Copies of this chain bind each other. A is one copy, B any other.
Amino acid sequence: MAKESFVEQIADIEKDFPQWYTDVVLKTGLVDYGPVKGTMVIRPYGYAIWENIQTEMDARFKATGHKNAYFPLLIPMSYFTKEAEHVEGFAPEVAVVTHAGGEELSEPLAIRPTSETIIGSMYSKWIQSYRDLPVLINQWANVMRWEKTTRPFLRTSEFLWQEGHTAHATEDEAMEETMKMLSVYKEFAENVLAIPVICGRKTEKEKFAGAVATFGMEAMMKDGKSLQSGTTHYLGQNFAKAFDIKFLDKDGVQKHAYTSSWGTSTRMIGALIMAHGDSRGLVLPPKVAPCQVVIVPIAAKKGGVMEACAEIKAKLEKDGVRVIFDETDNSPGWKFNEWEMKGVPLRIELGPRDLEAGKALIFRRDTLEKTEVQLENIGQEIQALLNTVQKDMLEAARKRRDEKIVYANDLKGILKGVEGGNFVKAGWCGCRECEDKVKTETAATARVFAEGETSETCAVCGKKSKHTVIFARAY
């Protein structure tokens, strides 16, 4: 009995979204809390999603000419002070090693919160001539930022990420790289995570500490809040000057390089959960689902059902589908609940009568629809359906989001918009005071500048608008 009521253990998504999130991440086995406050254990089901993300992303990085490398975890504290804005942004969040090997260290060492400084120090050794440029390196690593309030995937003291760090001979090339990686992120978010994103520039207040300009991609969660899912930074010569990254150019002149950096993290798993999940739990897009298809036998003791299920499993595996055949003793109803909660995109149900009729039922997790398929075509049907689900999930998310983008001409309009769970587009004069006022009055922040759009006047002060900004409450 307890087992049949599995799903009811998840809080109501409509009534208590934060509790629903916590229930889902813990009860589907994605994560657990680590013993140190603010840390998470990524359990096999969660880590398998991360592995699929890594595989898809890494292929995109390599296709755009990047190579992976690994830089040390520990950074001398003095490195942070070399870039003034950078130290201000990161020093307060740093975890510090003061003792090692039984002795006090002569200089305290920071656990990397991000690696611009240590990578900058190495690039200054490796880059001598224009022939050494561009340097296009990515790192998959753990990083640490000591946060007061933490939530699994969204904000944890340690998280996993990738950080790209590139150096170029010219401003144009570095800026081109910054924008190229933003488009790589966007294509990835949409075609792999099935999450539509809005890309654009960040305000001075919201930009990366030490960057000239930061660009971000923002995804709408089901509660209408925004989740920053990736950022790229044009660093100009800031870090090149701080770490002396210089090269002899073709014209015989010593110049500082131009650098960029860009990152995405396990936060994206949080985006997946909150962009697609529903009252039954997770809804995972096929491309990142650890299990794409689950096979559930019905009244299985009769007439070769188990054998037929095993055959389907073998066939699908041969086609490269990630499939589980649930052979446990649990009831079909319990299995349905469990795998729905875990967000498996497709379920095949097969009973003796189906088998006799040469067909099976397929349940789609995203639309909750059931269709009948002929067993002889099941391989092609599953492949086609996985592609359809992947595409449909993006379109459904886009539709949901687009219905929740509204316009506002004044502060009251912004407040009403975000209280209704919307992204609000509004004009902004560009001054910090107006940006802060939106935050204070509405708890919304400027997410990114909207592309190709301009409002006439600032929604806060009424002066001439400089940018149209997406305002939203954010994770």
Give A contacts to B, CB under 8 Å.
Answer: 32, 34-36, 39-44, 46-48, 50-51, 67-76, 79, 91-102, 108-109, 111, 118, 121-122, 125-126, 137, 141-142, 144, 146-148, 157-158, 160
In the complex, are the beta carbons of B68 and A47 less than 8 A apart? Answer: yes
A68 and B92: CB pair below 8 A? no
CA distance A470 to B160 in the complex (A): 41
> A95, B100: Cβ atoms under 8 Å?
yes
A148-B92 CB under 8 A given contacts A70-B42, A71-B41: no
- A93 closest partner in B (C-beta): B101
Closest 9 CB pairs of A and B: A101-B146, A44-B67, A95-B100, A39-B72, A34-B72, A42-B70, A100-B146, A96-B99, A98-B98
A35 CA / B119 CA spacing, docked (Å)? 10
A389–chain B nearest beta-carbon distance, Å: 24
Give complex CA distance A41, B96 in Å. Answer: 20
Closest to A145 in B: B101
Q: Are B47 and A70 in contact (CB under 8 A)?
A: yes
B97 touches A96 (CB 8 A): yes
B148 and A72 form a contact (CB under 8 A):
no
A109: nearest chain-B partner, CB-CB: B36
B137 and A71 contacting across the interface, CB-CB below 8 Å: no
- Knowing A41-B122, A44-B137, A137-B44, the reply to whether A34 touches B99 (Cβ < 8 A) is no
In this complex, the member of A47, A50, A125, A144 whose beta carbon has the largest number of chain B beta carbons within 10 angstroms is A47
| Known A-B contacts A36-B74, A36-B76, A102-B92; A69 and B97 likewise in contact (beta carbons under 8 Å) | no
| A142: chain B residues within 8 A (beta carbon) | 73, 141-142
Nearest CB of B to A126, in Å: 8
How long is the Cα–Cα vector from A102 to B75 in the complex, in angstroms? Answer: 16
Instruction: Report the nearest B residue to A106, measured CB to CB.
Output: B37
In the bound assembly, the distance between CA atoms of A419 and B273 in angstroms comes to: 62
CA distance A73 to B68 in the complex (A): 21
Whole-angstrom CA separation of A146 from B74 in the bound complex: 12
Which of B50, B98, B109, B122 is close to A32, meaning CB atoms less than 8 Å apart?
Answer: B122
Of all chain B residues, which has the CB nearest A71? B41
CB atoms of B44 and A121 under 8 A apart: no
Write 19 A-B pairs (CB below 8 A) sorted by A numbering.
A32-B125, A34-B118, A35-B76, A36-B74, A36-B75, A41-B70, A42-B70, A50-B70, A73-B73, A74-B95, A74-B157, A94-B101, A95-B97, A95-B100, A95-B101, A97-B111, A99-B108, A101-B148, A142-B142
Starting from the known contacts A50-B70, A111-B111, 4 additional A-B residue pairs (CB-CB under 8 Å) come to A34-B71, A73-B158, A95-B100, A96-B98
Query: Contact at A44–B68, with CB atoms within 8 Å?
Result: yes
Of B99, B144, B147, which one neighbours A98 at CB under 8 angstroms? B99
If the complex has contacts A95-B97, A146-B101, are A47 and B69 also in contact, measured as CB distance less than 8 A? Answer: yes
CA distance A443 to B137 in the complex (A): 42
Closest residue of chain B to A92 (Cβ to Cβ) is B102
Min CB distance, A67 to chain B, in Å?
4
Q: Report whether B92 and A67 are in contact in the complex, using a CB–CB cutoff of 8 Å.
A: no
Say yes or no: B72 contacts A158, CB within 8 Å: yes
Shortest CB–CB separation between residue A204 and chain B, in angstroms? Answer: 24
Most buried by B among A41, A48, A158: A41
Contacts of A137 in B (CB 8 A): 44
Of A39, A46, A73, A142, most buried by chain B (CB within 10 Å of CB) is A73
CA distance A111 to B457 in the complex (A): 53
Closest B residue, CB atoms, query A58: B51
Give chain B residues whose Cβ lies under 8 Å from the Cβ of A118: 34-35
CB-CB under 8 A from A36, the residues of chain B are 72, 74-76, 109
Chain B contacts of A144 at CB under 8 A? Answer: 73-74
Q: Give min CB distance, A381 to chain B, whole Å.
A: 27
A146 nearest in chain B by CB position? B101
Contact of A48 among B68, B96, B121 (CB under 8 A): B68
Partner of A101, one of B75, B92, B100, B122: B92
Which one of B39, B69, B146 lies within 8 Å of A41 (CB-CB)? Answer: B69
Q: CA A95 – CA B97 in complex, angstroms?
A: 7
- B39, B68, B108: the one within 8 Å of A74 (CB): B39
Contacts of A71 in B (CB 8 A): 34, 41
